Structure 1
Amino acid sequence: MSAPASTWRRWAPDVLIAVLLGLAVVWLLRALMLHLPPGLYQQQSGGDVWFGADTPRTLANMVDAQSNHYRTKVHPISSLLLHPVTVAVRSVWAGSDLEAAMRVVKFVGVLWAIGFYALGRLSGAGRIASVCFTALAVASAAFQFWFSLAETFFAGSLTLLMVLLVAAVAVHRPVGDRWLVAASVASLSITVTNWVAGLALAIVQRPWRRAVGLSAVALLIVSVLALVQRQLYHWSMLFFLGSREELHYINQAGGGSLGDRLIGMLWYPIRLPEVRVQEQVPPALNSISVQMNGAGLVDAASWAAVLIWALLLAAGVVGLVRSPRWHAFGKVLGLTLAAQIALHLVYGDETFLYAAHFLPLLMAVALFAGRSPLGRAAPVLAVLLAALVGFHNFDMHAAAAHLLQHATPAP
């Protein structure tokens, strides 16, 4: 048998699984997107109502170069990346602005699911185990709520996953400087604070002087692209000049206690509690939130879910510690997760807004539960948890979309 044929036979099952995962994700996201009212993307009615997300502006930035791209001061080259892709999709597949943007979101969702499956395979998990953990990731609240609408978080989550994939490849074979720079550029491209992942990767993989040099190259590349972006997009800002506006989001009273924030970072990305609504005057949509709503442990299913998730996380940490070969990967993952937690203990008043950024990090920890004493029970628990949270999150998504809309028309 020839080498190409042997290689194809080895990888064919993974390719088939990737295709099936992609189809399942497209079906799920299409169903979720149907929940959302069109008013969510209208400036007069949808601004900041979906857990604080700025959906009207994000949609406008994805489809219109002349819209206000001022948030590039914290999303360095997001417009330069997302707008051309959306325009290209619309040029080959006719549709409205919203339809084109949602197709891009779905495509990124498919890439994310396949990428996470690939991370599972790279981590040493078998095909079935990798599918089980990918199913949990897709069933999560973070995936269902943030990969079903136009926002920057779906893209930011993918860039974090890309860094983890490079870190995982580095366990199996040396990665060149170009890969480290590319991963660093990716992590910085969508959200400034996500650059910590690229920095962590460089610091772990190279001596500190070399790591600083590679990180400087990545910063220079993104800075040059940001200058190009400024010439192409209306009111585009330069991220390296900083943003004093972000200081207003530090230690906001609405964020609650440290416990509220930790629950929002470590639990809400997996299972969302009941959503709280704040009535607004029409035509504005109602605004919804889950901050300070507690863990939502109201029945046996919710208690079972939180206990299984806690067990998977704890076992994942044990699995990483017990795997010396994966300690470098664990350092990248640990540094990135620790930095994200430290940031969001003080930043923002709706922690669930950033759930998509926590998702690849938390799920990467859980992946290593299979290397703990749990062993083969880990993927079984992952599937059980996916069932416990998946249908619940789907129903919560529909309920949240319903709460946005007024029961009675404006007088």
Structure 2
Amino acid sequence: MINILRRKTDLKSVLSEKKTDLFFLFFLFAFFFFIYYFLSVSLANTNVFTENDILFEIDAQRGIKDITQFSYDHYRTNVHPIYVLFMNPPGEILEKIIHSPVYAAILLNSFLGAFGVALAYIGFSFLDFDQKQSLLLAALFGATTSQLFLSIIPSTMSLAVCSLLFTYLLFAGSIRKKVFHLLPWILAGILTLGTTTTNVVQTLICFGIACYAVNKEKGIFYPLLRCLIFITCVIVITAGLAILQKAVYTTTVLFFLPGAYEEDISYASLWIFKIPLVILGQLFKNFFLINIAAPIPIVFPMDGKSLPALSFTPSTSFTIMGYISAALWLALIGLAVFSRIKWEKDHTRSPWNASSWILPGLGLCLLFNFVLHCFYGVGWLDKIEYFLYSGHFTFLVLAIISYISKMPAKVMTCLLISLILCLLINNIQIVTGIITLYSMPS
């Protein structure tokens, strides 16, 4: 009888936790969808989305047309292989309903941005944070410069972020539960490769580590064989879908053909060996600061554009709230690292287990992005704009910093709440300034 009552109590507790999770997910989605949609519509009303590249080198106009125009020249499907197949059907349907390609694209982009914040909540939960911590960390993710800006400027990035978050969920979930199924991983691989080609490397890293961690007793050759099967299936299926996409959308490019990446060679260089301090300085700034707290962007004329362009690359100044946000963020990093070092000194290191692989896996994904952008995105010295790639690594930075932290829960909570509020004020203030800039008569 006591066992039955205990089971009932446990069931009530589980159901209560599930209800709380659902409420937090709905709250995060609704709150950030409202912010992203409102800011995006306000930006669109300035006609800033009629041009490519002027907003931090992001192709807003191309993003809108890829999503909503069937007959558009979908030439960037070389590096976004089946993005049009993913996004154009719902985009066209929305456009037919609301009779505005811009608002249809904004609606989908804002939806994916808010959905990404909800996925981040699940991701932090899978990383073993409690509900309150997961809520705050997901809200912090949603308030970052990266997630906010990329969710209000229509582009491929909002879907890329969601596909990567799905990968991280699978990674942490597989290791925590010690369960490994191939099919969900193949789906994650198709989503990451199909949206942005280089992102599949992160999925492959997570797949290989999770497979080894869960099946360690089977030796090293088993995960290597599974990796080969995985990447073969992902490439073959994505190639098949790209051929199908080509049959429907004749202007798309087949990503696996020779010459598909000729244009992208101009985005890569070996400048890292000539001016390493400049490149590394920009990398650290974009990976660990301005992707979190927005500086004041630099305004400059761009050849062939009717509107002035914006860049974070040369930015060195913040608003008052921006300086506070940056200070709080750097304090969070410092305290997380310090608390971890102190904890390691005071505690005996626990035996290596499956969960021990989570941090190295996330770290390797971050390292891959860092090494990639030592070479890619620096084709022209006056056009370094790493910010447009920030969606590929911002969640990783937040996850790693929070995962290593051993600071007291109350200190962490106070820091997170303060940082979220300051970031929202600062980053929305920067967006409002951009709206004002493009609302002025030329």
Q: TM-score normalised to the size of structure 2?
A: 0.83
Structure 1 position 363, deviation (Å): 1.9
Q: Partners of 1:181 and 1:281 in 2: how far apart?
A: 43
- Worse-matched range after superposition: 318-327 or 82-91: 318-327
1:2-37 per-residue CA deviation (whole Å, 9 max, x = no partner) reads: 998775434111111111111101221123113314
3-state SS, counterpart of residue 161 of structure 1: helix
2:241 aligned residue (216, 225, 235): 225
1:198-234 per-residue CA deviation (whole Å, 9 max, x = no partner) reads: 1102211331122111111111111111111111114
Q: Partners of 1:303 and 1:249 in 2: how far apart?
A: 30
- Residue 28 of structure 1 is matched in structure 2 by 35
- Residue 294 of structure 2 is matched in structure 1 by 272
3-state SS, counterpart of residue 277 of structure 1: strand
Structure 1 position 376, deviation (Å): 4.4
Q: Partners of 2:25 and 2:392 in 1: how far apart?
A: 22
RMSD, aligned CA: 2.9
Check conservation: 1:312, 1:366, Cα contact below 8 A: no
2:281 aligned residue (252, 256, 259): 259
Moved over 6 A (4+): 2-6, 252-255, 315-323
Q: Look up the equivalent residue of 2:20 and give its one-letter code.
A: P
Structure 1 position 345, deviation (Å): 2.1
1:349-376 per-residue CA deviation (whole Å, 9 max, x = no partner) reads: 1011112222221122133145x24444
Structure 1 position 90, deviation (Å): 4.1
Check conservation: 2:125, 2:134, Cα contact below 8 A: yes
3-state SS, counterpart of residue 147 of structure 1: helix
What pairs up with 1:131-146 in 2 under 5 angstroms? 131-146=135-150
Matching of residue 383 in structure 1 with residue 412 in structure 2: no
Structure 1 position 95, deviation (Å): 3.8
Q: Partners of 1:9 and 1:71 in 2: how far apart?
A: 46
3-state SS, counterpart of residue 154 of structure 1: helix
Matching of residue 187 in structure 1 with residue 192 in structure 2: yes
Counting matched residue pairs gives 403
User: CA 1:364 to 1:177, structure 2 compared with 1: closer, same or farther past 3 Å?
Assistant: same
User: CA 1:280 to 1:172, structure 2 compared with 1: closer, same or farther past 3 Å?
Assistant: closer
- Residue 161 of structure 2 is matched in structure 1 by 157
1:320-372 per-residue CA deviation (whole Å, 9 max, x = no partner) reads: 997854322223211211111111122211011112222221122133145x2
Q: Partners of 2:234 and 2:372 in 1: how far apart?
A: 22
User: CA 1:328 to 1:388, structure 2 compared with 1: closer, same or farther past 3 Å?
Assistant: same
Q: Look up the equivalent residue of 1:73 and give its one-letter code.
A: N
Q: Partners of 1:81 and 1:183 in 2: how far apart?
A: 14
Check conservation: 1:263, 1:294, Cα contact below 8 A: no
Structure 1 position 391, deviation (Å): 0.7
Check conservation: 1:289, 1:350, Cα contact below 8 A: yes
Q: Look up the equivalent residue of 1:194 and give its one-letter code.
A: N
Q: Partners of 2:256 and 2:438 in 1: how far apart?
A: 36
Check conservation: 1:65, 1:83, Cα contact below 8 A: yes
User: CA 1:303 to 1:188, structure 2 compared with 1: closer, same or farther past 3 Å?
Assistant: closer
Q: Percent identity?
A: 21
Matching of residue 212 in structure 1 with residue 228 in structure 2: yes
Matching of residue 314 in structure 1 with residue 342 in structure 2: no
Q: Look up the equivalent residue of 2:29 and give its one-letter code.
A: G
What pairs up with 1:12-411 in 2 under 5 angstroms? 12-38=19-45, 39-42=47-50, 46-90=51-95, 93-173=97-177, 174-206=179-211, 207-241=223-257, 242-251=260-269, 256-280=278-302, 284-294=306-316, 296=318, 301-302=324-325, 304-311=327-334, 314=337, 324-348=353-377, 349-370=384-405, 372-404=406-438, 407-409=440-442
Check conservation: 1:65, 1:234, Cα contact below 8 A: no
Q: Look up the equivalent residue of 2:141 and give its one-letter code.
A: A
Check conservation: 1:200, 1:335, Cα contact below 8 A: yes
Check conservation: 1:317, 1:368, Cα contact below 8 A: no
Q: Partners of 2:256 and 2:189 in 1: how far apart?
A: 15
Check conservation: 1:157, 1:359, Cα contact below 8 A: no
Check conservation: 2:271, 2:375, Cα contact below 8 A: no
Q: Partners of 2:389 and 2:18 in 1: how far apart?
A: 35
Q: TM-score normalised to the size of structure 1?
A: 0.89
Rg: which structure is higher? 2
Where in structure 1 are there 5+ consecutive unaligned residues? none
Structure 1 position 77, deviation (Å): 0.7
